[in-house]
Amino acid sequence: MNIMSPNDWITLSPEPLDSAAAVAFVTDGRAGGIDVFLGTTRAETSHDGRALIALDYEAYEQMAGEQLRELARRARAQWPIVKLALLHRTGRVALGEPSVMIAVSTPHRADAFAACRWLIDMLKKDVAIWKKEVWADGSGTWVHPVVPSPGTPGEG
């Protein structure tokens, strides 16, 4: 999924994210401030000594794409955004590479910070994307998986 209108660039793709391209996209003569957020992965070792080597991202692509577009619309309704980029990787992401990148340009800097912060918070909370930690021995652990706990009241 890759949508690039003149002012919004929204992507869900296995391609590495390019911060310079995101900055260039949102740079605009009407903007005085640009805020960029990059989500990266902390190096980790499992309790039994295996190193984390990558994350595998899976998305419900159609829904996640619609959700990202809707988040862009809602951000624009709240802040005077000049341009924005909302980019998320799918598939395997090596440690040290960002999995998500959000860039927002606005006339004044406070709005760029607020919109960027809101977008990453909402993305993490709602968008149909899942990550699986991949360990050095090839095993995988879904992050925030449903913890099996029979009898727990459902959330629907």
Partner 1 sequence: MTVTIKLFAILRERANVSKMRIELPASATVAAAREALAERLPALRDHLPRVAWAVNRAYVPIETELHDGDELAVIPPVSGG
In the sheet that holds 129-135, the strands lie side by side as 91-94, 52-59, 129-135, 140-142
Per-position x/- string for 71-110, each x denoting binding to its own copies as judged by CB under 8 A, each - no binding: ------------------------xx-x------x-x-x-
The DSSP result for 120-153, as a single string, is HHHHHHHSSEEEEEEETTS-EEESSPPPP-TTPP
How many residues make contact with partner 1 (CB under 8 A)? Answer: 38
| 148 part of the interface to partner 1, by CB under 8 A | yes
Tokens found for residue 92: 């395997």
Residues 18-57 that bind partner 1 (CB under 8 A): 39, 57
Enter the DSSP assignment of 48: T
Which one of its own copies, partner 1, none interacts with residue 38, CB within 5 to 8 A by kind? its own copies
Q: Is 117 in the site for partner 1 (CB under 8 A)?
A: no
Q: Which two tokens stand for residue 122?
A: 């909402």
Q: Could you say which residues in the range 59-98 bind partner 1, by CB under 8 A?
A: 59-60, 62-64, 66, 88
* Cβ pair 114, 122 in contact under 8 A: no
d(CA 9, CA 105): 12
Residues that bind partner 1 (CB under 8 A): 39, 57-60, 62-64, 66, 88, 99-100, 120, 123-132, 142-156
Residues that bind its own copies (CB under 8 A): 18-20, 23, 27-43, 95-96, 98, 105, 107, 109, 112-113, 116-117, 120
